[in-house]
């Protein structure tokens, strides 16, 4: 049996903050990894804003909305997609790169891109964000580390790409997991993202602003949560499209758009 090196999706402390930003019921998990967020969205839907609204008035709820209307996942690593498939998490699962997604306009309400953009070269990461704006109708949720340089060791992860790894699984892991670029909070703000949680009215707003300032200007290390609201839902009736083109290749039964 071939083994594959797999890593997790996100620091545990980030999970409730990401779940609290979900908008709408159609979700695309870009760089889904081992399916951490897919599992949570499938099994803890009530901990998202749309799921919470459904369960607050349980007697009048619509049972078909007890789960996401669509939960799609893509990843560039075969081992990750294979593992997700074994858990039967996603409605649609495919091999694809974040900067070359096959989905039509307004395919989902929310795109998750958790700890992914830093693994791309900067031009590819910017292209991915532009594609997200086309594919998502309501919101883009991104997390990235503050720096490409490891805050604990001072090492630039791009040095790993120079390693001569004879094991194909190790080489695949290095290519996929090395941090190739970084985004500052200022860069993401300039791209239209809100950094950190939305500021609530009243006294809680003071806490929110202080926490966001810490995430933006605090010490090196840690992650940045960036959220972009697209406002398409406010300006038009969203016509969702499920017209995903057929993949040019199939790898182990998975549509392969890489």
Mind listing the pLDDT tens digit for each residue in 138-167?
A: 999 999 987 665 555 556 666 666 677 778
| C-alpha to C-alpha distance for 202 and 205, rounded to whole angstroms | 6
What kind and span of H or E run contains 143? strand 136-145
| Length of the chain as a residue count | 258
Q: Are 136 and 111 in contact (CB under 8 A)?
A: yes
pLDDT, tens digit, 9 for 90 and up, residues 56-114: 777 888 887 889 999 999 999 999 999 999 999 999 999 999 999 999 999 999 999 99
Tell me the average pLDDT across 103-129: 96
At residue 53, the pLDDT reads: 85
The CB density around residue 197, as the number of other CB atoms within 10 Å, is 18
3: pLDDT strictly greater than 60 = no
Using a 10 angstrom Cβ sphere, with 0-12 exposed, 13-18 middle and 19 or more buried, the burial of residue 206 is exposed
Query: 12-256 has which fold?
Result: Rossmann fold (3.40.50)
| C-alpha to C-alpha distance for 237 and 18, rounded to whole angstroms | 26
What kind and span of H or E run contains 229? strand 223-229
Instruction: For residue 102, report the phi and psi dihedrals to the nearest 5 degrees.
Output: -90, 5
What percent of the chain lies above the pLDDT cut of 90?
57
For residue 8, name the pLDDT band (cuts at 50, 70, 90).
very low
For the chain, what are the domain ranges? 12-256
Over the chain, what is the mean pLDDT?
85
DSSP string, 12-75: GGGHHHHHTT--SSEEEEET-TTTHHHHHHHH-GGGSHHHHHHHHTGGG--GGGSS-SEEEEEE
Q: Return the minimum-mean-pLDDT range out of 11-25, 46-60, 202-216.
A: 202-216
């Amino acid at each position: 049996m071939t083994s594959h090196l797999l890593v997790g999706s996100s620091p545990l402390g980030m999970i409730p903050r990401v779940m609290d930003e979900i908008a709408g019921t159609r979700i695309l998990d870009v760089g889904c990894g081992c399916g951490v967020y897919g599992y949570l969205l499938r099994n803890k839907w009530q901990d998202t804003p749309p799921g919470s609204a459904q369960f607050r008035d349980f007697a009048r709820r619509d049972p078909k909305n007890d789960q996401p209307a669509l939960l799609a996942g893509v990843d560039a690593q075969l081992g990750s997609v294979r593992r997700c498939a074994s858990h039967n998490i996603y409605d649609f699962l495919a091999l694809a790169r974040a900067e070359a997604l096959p989905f039509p306009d307004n395919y989902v309400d929310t795109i998750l891109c958790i700890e992914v953009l830093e693994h791309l070269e900067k031009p590819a990461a910017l292209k991915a964000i532009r594609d997200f704006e086309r594919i998502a109708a309501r919101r883009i949720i991104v997390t990235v580390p503050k720096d490409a340089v490891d805050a604990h060791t001072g090492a630039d992860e791009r040095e790993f790409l120079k390693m001569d790894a004879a094991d194909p699984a190790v080489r695949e892991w290095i290519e996929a997991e090395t941090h190739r670029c970084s985004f500052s909070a200022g860069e993401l703000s300039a791209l239209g993202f809100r950094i950190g949680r939305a500021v609530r009215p009243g006294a809680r707003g003071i806490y929110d602003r202080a926490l966001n300032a810490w995430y933006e200007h605090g010490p090196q290390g840690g992650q940045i949560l960036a959220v972009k609201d697209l406002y398409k839902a406010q300006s038009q009736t969203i016509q969702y499209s499920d017209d995903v083109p057929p993949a040019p290749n199939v790898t182990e039964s998975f549509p392969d758009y890489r």
